Structure 1
Amino acid sequence: MINQSSAEAVYLEIGSRDIEDVTTCSDVDMKSANKDGRFVRKDGTPYPLPEVARS
């Protein structure tokens, strides 16, 4: 998460951190399994890294 505004941001995460949990973000077709930490699309193809993470 990157706050690109000049305002302070607050982030609240709720979850059990169970190794079998899967996080889904339906609005951007992304999911992640906690056991491997990879982000993929619903069809399993890798989700591209943001430009900031590549440099």
Structure 2
Amino acid sequence: MAGYPRGEFAAMLETTLKKSRSGRFKIAEGPKMPPDFKSPPRNEKLDYLKNYYISVY
């Protein structure tokens, strides 16, 4: 993500991605998302964030 240091974005993702009871990631919509984050269809955004989150760790 342009404009976000890697660790800072990862920390933001930790607060943005919440595990639902089914074990899937849910996205908390709102101000925690980077302001320049374009909103693709929900499933694509979920996959992108989940893959990014996994690649950081």
TM-score by structure 2 length? Answer: 0.27
> TM-score normalised to the size of structure 1?
0.28
Higher helix share: 2
Point out the structure with max Rg over C-alpha. Answer: 1
Question: Which structure shows the higher strand fraction?
Answer: 1
Q: Which has the higher contact order (CA 8 A, sep 6+)?
A: 2
